Structure 1
Amino acid sequence: MTMKTKALTIGISLIGIVAIAQKKEIRNAGKAVESGNYKEAKTLLNSVEGAVSNEKEKVQAEYYLTKGNAFLAAKNQAAVKTEDLVIAGKSFERAIELGEKGEGEKGLVEVKNALINSAIEDQKGEKFSDSADKLYAAYTLSKKDTVYLFHAASSATTGKDYDNALKYFEELRDLNYTGRGTIFTAVNKETGEVENFDTENKRDIYLKAGSHIKPSTIKEDSKRPDIVKNIALIYLQKDQKDKAMEAIQQARKESPEDTGLMLTEADIYYNLGKMDKYSALVEKVIEKDPNNATLYYNLGVTTGKMGDQEKAITYYKRAIELDPEMVNANINIASAILNKEKAIIEEMNGLGMSNADNKRYEELQKERSKLYKDAAPYLEKVIEKEPKESAEYKQSVQILTQIYGVLGETEKANALKN
């Protein structure tokens, strides 16, 4: 009996020693994080990972906070490791569950910001698939931030990672995500970057503190038509036409009067070569929303692609009537007019030296000059409305200078050159 009691006492003592050792390793790991020795911190944490679940919640929470900070160091690396940031995020989430809400939530915000900022840098470097992975990781850390899922889907699409893009868009559709709402923004004085805030009150706190300036409020329209459109277009890309049509028609059943979805279905018919159904839907949309400048502009783009330049110009002109500031409509009208020049030049180059050919050449010269005169006013409007540093302004100046030169309007050409 005595021997058993002694053995039990020794066993209890060993458990106490192990617990003390675990706490020591966690504290040492914390010190390693503070000194920037993240590799050593990870090694120390790994050594006690298997036994930490037997500890009190306070010790577990300390372990996960330390682990989160050790892996959060990935944000300072030249090539940010998505998997390390995900581990950091999951660690902070576990710390929050164990009662360390303050530090845990602060760490989680840092992880999300690191993922998003790195995703933005990836996009600038045209690493769209990497960007999508990081945005999706940011979404998984907090499923309420569905906007990250939307941006992940968009980035994956741009990167032609259609499998992941389709998965993300279908998840958005199943979540009934619309993206409609209000975004409150302000510029961080220290970084010069625009930052988003969940609420107006939260943004105003930063404004009053003086850390942020230039507040702005942005109203976001529903993104559901775009989501369904992308699902359908990806299926078309995969040559799965039946699934593409099924996706859009299901959405139309849910929202039969949604003009955005109507246009999406029209686009699909256009891609399928069913121009009669395309035209019928377009006319229906116009009836429902006759004062929508953007709608007329989009119809001009699509109709132009179909080869009907005159009808496209009609749509663009209507868009300008509804929204005189729509610069791109002016650019596209000028482009549609000048596109007719190609046929004229081809005919001119094919003419011979006979009197009849010379007469026809002169007629074509007049037609060409008329095209230039017709296009010039729209390019002049672009120059009038666009800032000088914009690509649209510079391109319009270049084309107009050539037009004035051909028309013999030397004074105007020189004014643009100067």
Structure 2
Amino acid sequence: MKTNILTVALSLFSLMAVAQKSEIKSAEKAVDKGNYTEAKAEIEKAESLLADANDKWTERFYVAKGNTYLGTGENVSIEDMLTASEAFKKAAEMGSNEAQEGLLNVRNSLVQSAVEDQSAENYKSASDKLYTSYELNPQDTLYLYFAAANSLNAQDFDTALEYYEKLRDLGYDGAETEYLATNVETGEQEAMPKEQRDLMIKTDNYTDPEDRELPSKKGEIAKNIALIYINEEKMDEAVEAMEDAKRENPDNVMLLQAEADMYYRMGDKEKYNEIMKEVLEKSPDDPAIYYNLGVTTAELGDTEGAVEYYEKALELDPSLSEARMNIVVAILAKERELIDEMNNLGMSKEDSKRYEELEEERLEVYEEVIPYLEDAIEHDPTNAEIIRTAMNIFNALDEEEKAQVLKEKLEELQ
């Protein structure tokens, strides 16, 4: 009797194994034909019999399941991507090289889909996909960085803060060498791994190899953490986050810049200027720093100091048209105080005399601003706002010929 029972059991085991092999093969064929719905149905049937499969067919099952849920890699849900990755992981642990390639395909599909979401400004979806890609390979922290940035763009501040703090705790730096080459067909530069770039240069498809050094992102990460706290009106946490970052990187110029930006957002422009002067000592040839100092110095009411900063910015970068316009705005700001006082004067002899003095000072402001307006028009001859401002000032100075020339120029532009 026992022999008969054993024989029946062996027969059932054999039938189950045959059925499972058949369903795995059917799933593989369906994948090859692109019929992923059918493949999923066959995988579900085979999975219920998986406990009775040997290692060879178990490995083959997980590869088939991974390929089934990955599909073409396009328009695949995150849930299916995760299912595919878990299947590939199990097959890879059993030694499958195909599964290793499958895992790479899952990650590439997630990233490509995230890029498309980002282009469509669907930042929340892009962040979710990039974070999933990071989870599949936690050594690749670049995807965590991009996930954080997309969460910030989506204004999902809680998630962005979580990701940025994780990057900070991991010591993520982001400084690296980017390897670029120009795609002959599109004419655009593309970044790729060095070995791939060097290989592509040997073909006729890519030219002009270039190595570009990317700066550290620690300052940006610290700034974003602080700005999220500021957005949530948690000022103490913002300052503490920045101080922690500075303790670890006391000479990091990007962090100093980030700290300055933080105080500017908090409305403390004097502290902003103080820190920006430290930044200036470390980067004395950066026109952007002089320009930014000009902006806040003007906001603090120091017109002369603001003009000096703008002029230095233009000395370093003559193309900074905004600096020229801001010089004009800073100088003409003096007129506002004069007009306010003039409007508050009465009709007495003393008031009339004071009015004349103020009017003279007003004309002196116009004389002071003329060279800057002419310089601005020379560098930006189609800027109607600059031309109109200069025309009005020449009219106020009774320089009618110059005003008429500008009027005609303005009419030509219109």
Whether 1:108 and 2:103 are equivalent positions in the alignment is: yes
Q: What is the deviation of 1:126? A: 1.8
For residues 232 and 167 of structure 1, the distance between their equivalents in structure 2, rounded to whole angstroms, comes to: 13
* Matched residue, 2:86: 90
* Matched residue, 1:13: 11
Equivalent residue runs for 1:223-262 within 5 Å: 223-262=217-256
Specify the code of the residue in structure 1 equivalent to 2:328: I
Q: Does structure 2 conserve the Cα–Cα contact (< 8 Å) formed by 1:85 and 1:111?
A: yes
> 5+ unaligned residues in a row in structure 1: which ranges?
384-395
For residues 61 and 412 of structure 1, the distance between their equivalents in structure 2, rounded to whole angstroms, comes to: 81
Specify the code of the residue in structure 2 equivalent to 1:110: N
Whether 1:81 and 2:77 are equivalent positions in the alignment is: yes
Equivalent residue runs for 1:3-402 within 5 Å: 3-52=1-50, 55-73=53-71, 75-77=73-75, 80-101=76-97, 103-188=98-183, 194-199=189-194, 201-300=195-294, 303=297, 311-322=305-316, 324=317, 327=319, 329-335=320-326, 337-338=328-329, 371=369, 374-378=372-376, 380-381=378-379, 397-399=383-385, 402=388
Q: What is the deviation of 1:231? A: 0.7
Between 1:66-75 and 1:242-251, the stretch displaced more is 66-75
The structure-2 alpha-carbon separation of the partners of 1:404 and 1:289, relative to structure 1 and needing over 3 Å to count, comes to closer
Listed one character per residue, the Cα deviations across residues 108-132 of structure 1 (whole Å, up to 9, x for unaligned) are 3333332222222222222111221
For residues 306 and 61 of structure 1, the distance between their equivalents in structure 2, rounded to whole angstroms, comes to: 70
The structure-2 alpha-carbon separation of the partners of 1:313 and 1:343, relative to structure 1 and needing over 3 Å to count, comes to closer
The structure-2 alpha-carbon separation of the partners of 1:317 and 1:336, relative to structure 1 and needing over 3 Å to count, comes to closer
Listed one character per residue, the Cα deviations across residues 318-342 of structure 1 (whole Å, up to 9, x for unaligned) are 33434x37x4x33244245247668
User: Who wins on radius of gyration, i.e. which is larger?
Assistant: 2
Secondary structure of the corresponding residue to residue 222 of structure 1: coil
Q: What is the deviation of 1:221? A: 0.5
Q: Does structure 2 conserve the Cα–Cα contact (< 8 Å) formed by 1:156 and 1:165?
A: yes
For residues 69 and 191 of structure 1, the distance between their equivalents in structure 2, rounded to whole angstroms, comes to: 32
For residues 320 and 132 of structure 1, the distance between their equivalents in structure 2, rounded to whole angstroms, comes to: 40
Secondary structure of the corresponding residue to residue 71 of structure 2: helix
Listed one character per residue, the Cα deviations across residues 156-211 of structure 1 (whole Å, up to 9, x for unaligned) are 11111101100110111011011001011234556776543232x32111222444
Specify the code of the residue in structure 2 equivalent to 1:95: A
Specify the code of the residue in structure 2 equivalent to 1:104: A
Identity of aligned residues (%): 35
Q: Does structure 2 conserve the Cα–Cα contact (< 8 Å) formed by 1:29 and 1:66?
A: yes
Residue correspondences, number: 395
Q: What is the deviation of 1:364? A: 5.9
For residues 378 and 105 of structure 2, the distance between their equivalents in structure 1, rounded to whole angstroms, comes to: 49
Q: Does structure 1 conserve the Cα–Cα contact (< 8 Å) formed by 2:182 and 2:208?
A: yes
Q: What is the deviation of 1:90? A: 3.4
Q: Does structure 1 conserve the Cα–Cα contact (< 8 Å) formed by 2:134 and 2:141?
A: yes
Between 1:370-379 and 1:163-172, the stretch displaced more is 370-379
For residues 92 and 416 of structure 1, the distance between their equivalents in structure 2, rounded to whole angstroms, comes to: 68
Q: Does structure 1 conserve the Cα–Cα contact (< 8 Å) formed by 2:179 and 2:211?
A: yes
Q: What is the deviation of 1:257? A: 2.2
Listed one character per residue, the Cα deviations across residues 48-101 of structure 1 (whole Å, up to 9, x for unaligned) are 234436533432332232222222236433xx5233233333333333322222
TM-score normalised by structure 2 residue count:
0.80
Secondary structure of the corresponding residue to residue 76 of structure 1: coil
For residues 86 and 309 of structure 1, the distance between their equivalents in structure 2, rounded to whole angstroms, comes to: 59
Q: Does structure 2 conserve the Cα–Cα contact (< 8 Å) formed by 1:372 and 1:403?
A: no
Listed one character per residue, the Cα deviations across residues 366-393 of structure 1 (whole Å, up to 9, x for unaligned) are 856864652453464468xxxxxxxxxx
Secondary structure of the corresponding residue to residue 216 of structure 1: strand
Q: Does structure 1 conserve the Cα–Cα contact (< 8 Å) formed by 2:183 and 2:205?
A: yes
Listed one character per residue, the Cα deviations across residues 208-242 of structure 1 (whole Å, up to 9, x for unaligned) are 24444443322100000110111111111112222
The structure-2 alpha-carbon separation of the partners of 1:404 and 1:336, relative to structure 1 and needing over 3 Å to count, comes to closer
Listed one character per residue, the Cα deviations across residues 23-66 of structure 1 (whole Å, up to 9, x for unaligned) are 21111111111222111111221222344365334323322322
> 5+ unaligned residues in a row in structure 2: which ranges?
393-402
For residues 295 and 54 of structure 1, the distance between their equivalents in structure 2, rounded to whole angstroms, comes to: 70
* Matched residue, 1:387: none
For residues 294 and 53 of structure 2, the distance between their equivalents in structure 1, rounded to whole angstroms, comes to: 67
The structure-2 alpha-carbon separation of the partners of 1:283 and 1:76, relative to structure 1 and needing over 3 Å to count, comes to closer
Secondary structure of the corresponding residue to residue 202 of structure 2: helix
For residues 158 and 185 of structure 1, the distance between their equivalents in structure 2, rounded to whole angstroms, comes to: 27
